[in-house]
Structure 1
């Protein structure tokens, strides 16, 4: 852990520099395309009137450039970054090609800088992850250690982009790590800390979208309305996710190469830009107006409708760009629109609730949605309504949609992915609770005569045992089977049990968990093993079917319902009888 944490420190610094570089590159492309000037400051399209032909053609040209880079450079630059990082972790041994670290930010800068309604965070995740992965590939590390450094780089880029260290760590836990262990959490947190410090030196420590919280007073009606914002935000998240994948299905039916799809998506973007120019680009300025209560109704409706449509439809084309900033903008617009009907709390309050809700619904990461909103605005007093809104949206999304905007893409690539975390039942049982006690054993020098074989054949315990431990003077020396005993007994004049034994590969201890035994079986390709005590004596036998005991117990706890306290409407005797019979059914299960 400490070694990987030390390696994560320079990865964090590199991730921060990469994030700053990508933001500057996006600013440079935007200035060149829409303002015809050489300037790397981040600026949005649509601040001034642009010729219609520029608004329409710039996204098409950008999409064509991305398509060419994907076809002749690396197809891994397609998409919004997070599914690609997840796929590298799940199936690629956390290996990311060096060219992806170069092509991904360039393609994203072109896509966003020419008007694409995407965020920089997805490409930064892929770029930062590529930095961590490349460092890991240069060293003699395991796949899990490479994964940790990949996620450390990705989280560092996120933290440096939004000055949101805790949200970046939560994003790693909820979306990328697939575990909660010190070996991965500590290095990721160390990387994020370094990235945030570097971000402060490069861009300052102020919140990205500062909100004035003077006069913030929360009442019960406000928190109830926060749940309303959460449910509507969840519905919007469901609709946008559905639209993304319907668009992807539609593009898949187009009868020519996918290289051209981003250009078609660019045409959709251009048409939307003609209707609402402020929907183009990464849109940090619009998010700021929404979260500070300065957005006009026309801008709110334009963003809510146009941004949702062009983002969903163009993302399905396979172009390069992230999802967080568009989700921030869409959610903020929804909340700001509803805030015109709800009581005033502070400027931008309902936009914050909408932002947290749509992040929780689209990304299926409710805690990340809450903490992101708090770190972006520093409106710490709004934590409870943000939690209510984000959780309500998450619950609705989970009930209506089988997968999120991230996991659906992974599933379409033939991978199964779950986001539900629970205690492994194999960790809650020990060997001594499920093993076969006092198994049938044989001494190594025991002669295999017909009387012995006959006794074993009549012994029910021996028939149930797949393997029979063979004991030497100092403990078990191997295992045998009934078939091997009969074969040796028939082929030799004098055969002993020791001749039939296969060398002992492993033994289990009574205090081992079933998970440790499962790993033991997998490592040595075993289906059973003798169980020995502290002195090395065989006290039991554990086999592969015994591991299912924990799963059966887990199923019983999940599905079996029973009344444990008497029902006051029933006579005492009948309630006691119902309870005892239910309990008995549970023990059988």
Structure 2
């Protein structure tokens, strides 16, 4: 009993520790991501300068030779550490689920370099996934340097991921919600406290370098009249369908690369790098993450034909870029695809006399949220993220509506969330890693009408090496006994060995989340 009381006391003290440690993680992770953003900006400026100064066939040939050499180098980085491949978000989720192991220093160095080279060369990948993984790796490295417990390390990895997103987009609330809604998929007070302190600190660091302006600078945003909301419903259905198509195409592209057996993984980056070289001379607007393209949608006018061309080419190029496995995310490019979809929809509606031209910008914003929600399946994060990126609350109601509709469409069509699929793919063929006998402390929420709701502690049947130390009910912490009834809203605080954490956590989440039939 004394040992359990000691553990409960440590649990109460952990909240304060995580808040302070989260600030440190936010500071360091924020600086890392800020440096990443600054270098990416310089890399893109260099690419544009090279393009504007080209004047001979030999210059063009030299550029393509350089792209191939860079692609080979990126491929070598990928082979050295497969954890840097792709977005980085599924890898962070795998680490926190105790299914993957990450070497933080290796990821920090190779992801930083690889991501910079890919986006600098013009590949259609985003900075947000790498930023989240860089933040998580920084937090893990700091935890290992200071020899923190495994429990603290896991919470700080979440904090680092939140800090990475906050610094990447100047979006601290979205950073917190992303950890809760996407990475952990439930609300946890400990995750919330550490993630919030890290995100706010990282956002403060980021704003000191990039200023207080939001990522996207929309000139005028008027509230959409209520009698126009039927258009939002239609756009929500369209973006929901587009999101489902996007996820299916991602799967097809990744499987397509796998079927090209004669091209080793190390050489796959050559394909998008050469394509980026061609597009530099044909359609440079689709290169890179797409920030400048969204800005041009805001401040310039395009014909519908041009918007359709940009949408199709950007979509195909994004698939080819990400499918090759290069270090880069899908987050920003999918927002750009949503913005293009919204611009087309708004332009068509304006041409038909259904809306004023001034409302087209609103539909650009709305489509970004709908696209994100249908693909990632995180509606709250999507709504808050777009709100913070645009710096306006005038469209919060319409954002929530389109996110709900797009989410419902994707659910009805049984489209698997993209990061769930990417994590499952990452785990395929992954070698099991050695686990220590260190103790982890996890929190599992009990959902309403779940399998365990209304049952007793003795019904949990916890395996050896696993101990339920507390049941948190509101502000009270109950010392569990066999006849203690478990109710919806409770949090189970469990101490277990790292070696069994993955399987036990998965089973408990299933019991505490799965609805009774």
Q: Does residue 17 of the first structure (1) align with residue 31 of the second (2)? A: yes
Q: Which has the higher mean CA deviation after the structures are superposed, 211-220 or 257-266?
A: 211-220
SS of residue in 2 equivalent to 1:110: helix
Q: 2:382 aligns with which of 340, 353, 369?
A: 369
Distance in 1 (alpha carbons) for counterparts of 2:195 and 2:87? 21
Report the alpha carbon displacement of residue 215 of structure 1 after superposing the two structures with TM.
4.2
| Aligned partner of residue 508 in structure 1, secondary structure | coil
Which residue of structure 2 lines up, in the alignment, with residue 160 of structure 1?
167
RMSD: 3.6
Answer yes or no: is the 8 Å Cα contact 1:291–1:349 preserved in 2.
no
Does the 8 Å contact 2:342/2:368 carry over to 1?
yes
How big is the shift at 1:282? Answer: 2.1
Contact 2:335/2:372 (8 A) holds in 1: yes
SS of equivalent residue, structure 1 residue 180: coil
Cα separation, 1, equivalents of 2:220 and 2:148: 47
TM-score (norm 2): 0.78
Contact 1:241 1:312 in 2 (8 A): no
Q: SS state of the match for residue 406, structure 1?
A: helix
Q: In the aligned structure 1, how far is the partner of 2:171 from the partner of 2:278? A: 34
Change (3 A) 1:281 1:12: same
- Correspondent of 1:235 among 228, 235, 241: 241
Query: Is the 1:78–1:318 contact (alpha carbons within 8 Å) kept by the matching residues of 2?
Result: yes
Contact 2:22 2:195 in 1 (8 A): yes
Q: 1: distance between equivalents of 2:446 and 2:408? A: 16
Q: Who is 1:211 aligned against?
A: 218
Residues 1:28 and 2:42 aligned together: yes
- 3-state DSSP class of the match of 2:223? coil
1:355 aligned counterpart, secondary structure: helix
Q: 2:434 — aligned with what?
A: none
From 511, 515, 519, give the equivalent of 2:484: 511
Q: CA offsets, 1:330-384, max 9 Å, x none?
A: 1000000010122125341111111111111111111111111111112311112
CA contact (8 A) 1:147 1:177 kept: no
Assess, with a 3 A threshold, how the Cα gap between structure 1 residues 82 and 106 changes in structure 2: closer, same or farther.
same
- In structure 2, the partner of 1:280 is 287
- For 1:368 and 1:358, locate their aligned partners in 2 and report how far apart those are by CA, in whole Å: 12
Normalised to the residue count of structure 1, the TM-score between the two structures is 0.69
Unaligned runs of 5+ residues in structure 2 are: 1-14, 350-354, 429-444, 461-478, 498-507
- Mapped contact 1:136–1:146 kept (Cα < 8 A): yes
The Cα of 1:242 is off from its aligned counterpart by 1.5
Contact 1:100 1:130 in 2 (8 A): yes
Partners of 1:124 and 1:293 in 2: CA distance? 29
Report the equivalent of 1:4: 18
**1:143-194 CA distances to partner (integer Å, 9 max, x unpaired)?**
4422211121121121112111111111111111344211111010011111
Mean CA deviation greater in 73-82 or 101-110: 73-82
Partner of 2:424: 411
In the superposition, relative to structure 1, how do residues 511 and 396 fare at CA in structure 2: closer, same or farther (>3 Å)? Answer: same
Mean Cα deviation higher: 425-434 or 384-393: 425-434
Q: How do residues 8-157 of structure 1 correspond to structure 2 at under 5 angstroms?
A: 8-36=22-50, 60-71=68-79, 73-92=80-99, 95-157=102-164
Report how far residue 424 of structure 1 moved.
7.4
How many residue pairs get aligned? The number is 449
- 1:46–1:278 contact (8 Å) kept in structure 2: no
Mapped partners of 1:85, 1:520: distance in 2: 22
Question: Does structure 2 conserve the Cα–Cα contact (< 8 Å) formed by 1:58 and 1:115?
Answer: no
Match of 2:363 in 1: 350
Query: Gaps spanning 5+ residues in structure 1: where?
Result: 37-44, 436-505, 524-547, 560-589
Q: What is aligned with 2:372?
A: 359
Does structure 1 retain, via aligned residues, the 8 Å contact 2:447–2:453? no
Aligned mates of 1:340, 1:47 — CA distance in 2: 35
Q: Which residue in 2 is equivalent to 1:564?
A: none
Maintained 8 Å contact 1:58/1:270: no
Larger mean Cα displacement after TM superposition, 104-113 or 24-33: 24-33
Distance in 2 separating the partners of 1:53 and 1:423: 63
Q: Give, in whole Å, the separation in 1 of the partners of 2:129 and 2:264.
A: 24
Match of 2:412 among 382, 389, 399: 399
Q: 1:14: Cα distance to partner?
A: 1.3
In the TM superposition, what is the alpha-carbon distance from 1:295 to its structure 2 partner? 4.6
Radius of gyration: which is bigger? Answer: 1
Change (3 A) 1:136 1:271: same
Which residue matches 1:428? Answer: 453
